[in-house]
Amino acid sequence: MRIDKASVKRKAQELGARFVGIASVDRWKGAPETVRPESVVPGAKTVIVIGVPIPRGMVETIPGHLWAREHGHLMGTKVDEIATELALWIEEQGFKASPIGGLSIPKDTFKTFSEALGGTPYPVYEFYKAGGVALNRAGYLAGIGTIGKSGNLVVENFGPNVILGGVVTTLEIEPDPMLEYEICDDCNKCVEACPAGAISKEGKPGNPVFDPIKCWLTNAVEGRTLKTAMDRGDKNVADFLQKTVFMLTEATPATCVCGAGCLVSCPLDKRAKKLK
Ligand code: SF4
Ligand code: SF4
């Protein structure tokens, strides 16, 4: 069977992807080695990015425990299955492929968190110190959307409310064109609604200024618990949490945890007004 762009996209759509974009690895030129696709699959030629909209009804459960717990399980599982099946199918055609989980972020981020949280080494980080692809950036490089002021990938008609997954492969596929305009209109609604002050007004569409530590420590259930333990000087609890929480809460659609400002408030999701 001939494997090309059309057959890869068709397969991804059959598996449930609503958005599929293709980026060649040379689009990561200049990126640090540890966040390049080749850090996942040596000799990689292509990154396939898939996207599934988060149902609007689910987005509007923000903020709350339901959102905090369920969207990760449900939406993460959905894109992970699509990415894993797609990777297996590409391997059946004779090329190496690795799925990238919908809730993954480059593992270097663990180091940033560890340092910001007082330098306690995060033991598992040692096993993860290289490798990863940031899916929001990959979505931009694959032509699915652009980077909004909040740091999330924003997509026409759905704004930031699309969960992403990916496949890194040695298969060479003609890349899709990247968008040549900004989808984010710089309305600042995400800046104003962010309860952590994590999104800076100084950022720009395509070039956000975002503080993941402020976001995570203020709003993730685990982050808040960790901060309380640290403020109380409870080193045992803080150490325990720091060792475990990174495995549980790597990231949401792109960078954000509570979604109060950066997801539900963004007017680019046209479904908010369109759906009954
Ligand atoms: S998840 Fe919440 S705290 Fe984090 S950037 Fe988005 S709105 Fe702000
Ligand atoms: S809320 Fe406004 S500024 Fe923020 S990402 Fe959406 S469109 Fe851009």
DSSP-assigned beta bridge partners for residue 167: 48, 99
Rg of the chain in Å (alpha carbons)? 18
**Residue 122 in tokens:** 């995060």
CA–centroid distance, residue 25 to ligand 1 (Å): 30
Cβ of 260 below 6 Å from ligand 1: yes
Q: Residues with Cβ within 6 A of ligand 2?
A: 148-150, 154, 159, 184-190, 265-266, 268
| Residue 109 reports pLDDT greater than 60 | no
Ligand 1 atom closest to the Cα of residue 214 is 3
Average pLDDT of the residues in 112-124: 50
pLDDT value at position 254?
A: 35
Could you tell me the pTM of the whole model?
0.85
Give the residue whose CA is nearest to atom 3 of ligand 1: 215
Ligand 2 atom closest to the Cα of residue 185 is 7
Give the residue whose CA is nearest to atom 7 of ligand 2: 184
Q: Which of 37-51, 55-69, 116-130, 152-166 has the lowest mean pLDDT?
A: 116-130
CA–centroid distance, residue 220 to ligand 1 (Å): 9
Q: Provide the CA 235 distance to its chain's centre, in angstroms.
A: 30
For residue 190, give the ligand nearest its CA.
2
151-193, pLDDT tens digit by residue? 889 999 999 999 999 999 999 999 999 999 999 999 999 999 9
For residue 189, give the ligand nearest its CA.
2
Give the residue whose CA is nearest to atom 8 of ligand 2: 184
Which are the contacts of 90, defined by CB distance < 8 A and separation ≥ 6?
Answer: 3, 8, 97, 167, 169, 171
Of 170, 191, 194, 212, the C-alpha closest to 47 is 170
